[in-house]
Amino acid sequence: MALTKPNIIFLMTDQQRWDCIGRFNQHIKTPTLDRLADEGIVFSQAVCQAPMCVPSRSSMMFGLYPSQIGVRTNRDGLDDEDGFPIPPLPELLRRQGYQTAGFGKTHWNHGRRSHPSARGFEVRAIGLGRDSGHYEENALMMDEDDPEGLSAYYEETRDYGSGEENVLGYIGRTSEVPMHRHRDGWVAEQCKKFIEHGLDGSRPLFLYLSFLKPHAGFNVPKEFEDWYRLEDIPDIEQPPWELEQETHVEEEALIHGEGGSRYWDRRQKWERMSVMERRRTTLRYWANCSWLDHYFGEVLDGLRSKGYLDNALIVFVSDHGEMLGERRFRFSKYCLFESSVRVPMILSGSWIPAEMRGITDDRPAELIDLVPTLAKASGAELNPMLPGLDLLAGKRRTGTFCEFHRTTEDGRFAAPSVMWRKRDWKLIMSLPGPLDDADSRLNELKGELYHLKEDPGEWFNLYRDERFTAIREQMTSELLLHLAITWTRGPSFGRAEFGNAEFYRPSLEPG
């Protein structure tokens, strides 16, 4: 292909821990991702901007923080397609002349409209039902193409609860549904068909492939479950305390009764399990990672055979992590601890400069950096409102930010928790209770300070330790200034000239 713009291949998983690729864990088998890491850049300190699916994905695709776009929890979503301050990534790249094809999960929660927009995707396939709330305009849905396969999958997981995340979902099973009839298997097959028959060689390609797993439930194809042995699975280390003390999740049961009951239900059952039974859950989670890695390999092989990797920028990320039984058997995400907020992030492909290939970059990186990075690669003008950085340029931020929002038991927003993270230190600030009267309760602020270098499990809160007052105050100041600068920059709704760097210029008109 003689095109100068790189083909952009965007590979994504759901709820994959930062340490669940072979580069960071010798027990994990992810040969495709390991090859991408060897040929590209691994961002070892990358974090998400919200530890749950919908706000993380919306934030990532718009390049703005969750509070900037108003998508803060999994109950939120943007459905006013005309009110965006900036286009989402697929639409941005479509405007740059790309053929845009999306396969798998976006989870933007905009399915409340009768005809929700595909947001720039020209080709779309989603491994769910049309009435699931995930339908997008002109998308091929799995229940239209393979209703028997989707029904078989749902029958196998029908006892796994909401989001497939109850106790049975995390225990999982050896799946009896053929791989290609799983939701992710169907998505992978649709993607491979497109590569074989649907490519437009006159335009550069933006290919988005996003799977639903390794998110629970852990109904894993036997072929990949057999890649691992229980005897080789390490135990999950537990802290020397029984209950959370002075943390942002301490009062989880009071802030969100349902969430608290889920935690205690899992914990009580896991405490009664044998060591080998607990290891089985870790094994199945890892097997899910290996299974998706296998599909990534097949898709990249297909693109390579068509010449699309000769000039390509390949991205691999996940939307957030998974606690997987840490901190006294806490599972899922919904917190600001390391295993939840850190994410795997790799930039690879032939478009990466030769001198940058095969390196580990320890700069503070965020998922919102992907929009400016890919926009720059596509030739688009960088939007000065965006708080993210071009990861292929030399700029370095001081720390990374993540925000965590919940709802109260009666459906109101809870006061937020926010994180400011450096390589060796993390600050978390939170306020118990609802948001609507939070201003009158600022004296109830909770703080957490962890020395990540010495305490990677974040077991010991040093916030009130006088020995670290200077570090605490410095990180607090950096967090406050980061927020002030970010919110001053934008978004500026109602302006037409977002791409003009002069939008900062104040009006000189009187009044």
**DSSP letters along 490-501, please?**
---TT-S-TT-G
What is the reported pLDDT for 495? 43
- Angle, helices 183-197/147-156, rounded to nearest 10 degrees: 150
Distance in angstroms (rounded) separating the CA atoms of residues 339 and 321: 6
Number of other residues whose CB lies within 10 A of the CB of residue 106: 25
Please state which CATH class domain 7-389 belongs to.
alpha beta
What burial class does residue 114 get, using C-beta atoms within 10 Å of its C-beta: 0-12 exposed, 13-18 middle, 19+ buried? Answer: exposed
pLDDT of residue 493: 53
Whole-model pTM: value is 0.94
Query: What pLDDT does 243 receive?
Result: 92
Residues 6+ apart with CB under 8 A from 288: 213, 214, 218, 220, 224
Q: What integer pLDDT is reported at residue 456 of this predicted model? A: 97
Which pLDDT does position 425 carry in this prediction?
98
Q: Which residues of the chain have pLDDT under 50?
A: 1-2, 255, 257-258, 494-511
Please report the pLDDT score of residue 331 as a whole number.
96
Which one, of 278, 240, 498, 235, lies nearest residue 375 by Cα? 498
376-409 pLDDT, tens digit per residue, is 999 999 888 999 999 999 899 999 999 999 887 7
Determine the pLDDT at residue 379: 96
**Which helix H or strand E contains 277, and what residues bound it?**
helix 275-305
